[in-house]
Structure 1
């Protein structure tokens, strides 16, 4: 790649990360509209890397292009989120039953048990680390079942839910609950109690789902109120168009 190509790729990555962070931190809230020119001006980037970054975010489901009116942060579709959670639970419960039917316990289950049963609360992960560990917990459970298509579909669902699931670890009580619930799921799984482990898993996911929905709505309301209070414009102007 030429030096010019490398610079463009680097700028596109920078714009992508900046916009994604704005979306994740609710500086851009669902429904906010903006143009490529606005983004370029704010981030001091030319149109090409801005467009590359936006197309990447579009593929990942964070933004959508509006016919003749620029771009928009994709509004949350809570019905779709509910359906994705339903599918996720189905896959993870099926994985638990497959694991319990295997002649030997997969080694990853012992590894997960060590991670989610620390000797002291001070050894627990925090912030982005606990988010990554939680995602790995669920993905590793499905992968341990040994069905590659199940693993692939579950990974796609995980990717689509990441923007909302990450909020489950912004409060200490939710981190504590995650550690405790993961530990009880693993304990039942290691005892070979598939039904109990599957039920505990479903309850764990539903509790998390309810929490992240509440936190999401709270963050959206706070961001909208903050923008109204300080007069902060959206990317397109003083208000949504």
Structure 2
């Protein structure tokens, strides 16, 4: 994962540490509930504590870590209820965007967006992207473009924030080939119903699509957490012996 910077500037040491820690959290090398200290991270990263603290404060603002009073930091425990609530908000926003787009099917900008998305998603299986990370990025862009095309800038901003917060679990949906194929089919159906101005059907397809992803992500996340905890326990027992 590349560090995110503004204005095209080169990533600072704090940016690099932030990106590495975030990737460790995403890949379950740092497990939910793990306690970490600035001094330990600084030693591991070969840096002073100042950029480490900057990186941790940024991760705290994004709800990935919590600060412990006089006792370092903790990777935020995994809260499925929190993610379920984010998914609920996402459905509301995207259904609203779909409604708006169905009312604007003759609008040139809407037609352009739909055609661009159809070129990416309404494809036969032999022409589809099969890589998980690439499909995940495309999926995020698909939903983001639909919301942006609805024309409400504040809705777009909130949706972008939700996308960032859900990325830790949502990316797991693209680790299975069947889910990648399903995403193409479901996106294509959503686009077709929007293009035809069938708002009720478009909302239904969208809700079913997000519900399927949500269900798959929960199951995969639980499985990966169990595997990560088992590996961690085995490593601890091996070190002790």
Q: TM-score, normalization: structure 1?
A: 0.89
Deviation track 1:122-169 (CA, whole Å, cap 9, x = no partner) reads 442523221111001111111111112221221121121111111111
Taking CA–CA contacts closer than 8 Å with sequence separation of 6 or more, which of the two structures ends up with the larger relative contact order? 1
Query: For 2:78, what is the secondary structure of its paired residue?
Result: coil
* Paired position in structure 1 for 2:158: 153
Contact 2:125–2:181 (CA<8 Å) still a contact in 1? no
Q: Shift of residue 67 of structure 1?
A: 0.9
Q: Shift of residue 232 of structure 1?
A: 7.6
Question: 1-side partners of 2:69 and 2:188: how far apart?
Answer: 48
- Indicate how the Cα distance of structure 1 residues 232 and 30 shifts in structure 2: closer, same or farther if over 3 A, else same: farther
Structure 1 alignment gaps of length 5 or more: 1-8
* Paired position in structure 1 for 2:194: 189
* Paired position in structure 1 for 2:133: 128
Query: For 1:231, what is the secondary structure of its paired residue?
Result: helix
1:104-123 paired onto structure 2 within 5 Å: 104-105=106-107, 106=110, 107-123=112-128
Q: Which moved more, 1:34-43 or 1:199-208?
A: 34-43
Contact 1:64–1:71 (CA<8 Å) still a contact in 2? yes
Deviation track 1:200-239 (CA, whole Å, cap 9, x = no partner) reads 1001001101111111111111010001112189xxxx9x
Say if 2:104 is the partner of 1:102: yes
Say which of 65, 69, 87 aligns to 2:71.
69
Deviation track 1:31-87 (CA, whole Å, cap 9, x = no partner) reads 111101111111211111111111111112211111111101111221121111111
Structure 2 alignment gaps of length 5 or more: 1-10
Question: 2-side partners of 1:123 and 1:215: how far apart?
Answer: 23
Q: Shift of residue 13 of structure 1?
A: 2.1
* Paired position in structure 2 for 1:199: 204
Question: 1-side partners of 2:105 and 2:183: how far apart?
Answer: 28
Say which of 168, 176, 185 aligns to 1:180.
185
Query: For 2:12, what is the secondary structure of its paired residue?
Result: helix
Structure 1 runs (4+) greater than 6 angstroms displaced: none
Pairwise CA RMSD of aligned residues? 1.9
* Paired position in structure 2 for 1:141: 146
Q: TM-score, normalization: structure 2?
A: 0.89
Deviation track 1:69-109 (CA, whole Å, cap 9, x = no partner) reads 11011112211211111111011111111111125241111
Contact 1:118–1:124 (CA<8 Å) still a contact in 2? no
Q: Which moved more, 1:116-125 or 1:217-226?
A: 116-125
1:22-37 paired onto structure 2 within 5 Å: 22-37=24-39
Corresponding pairs, count: 227
Q: Which moved more, 1:219-228 or 1:59-68?
A: 59-68
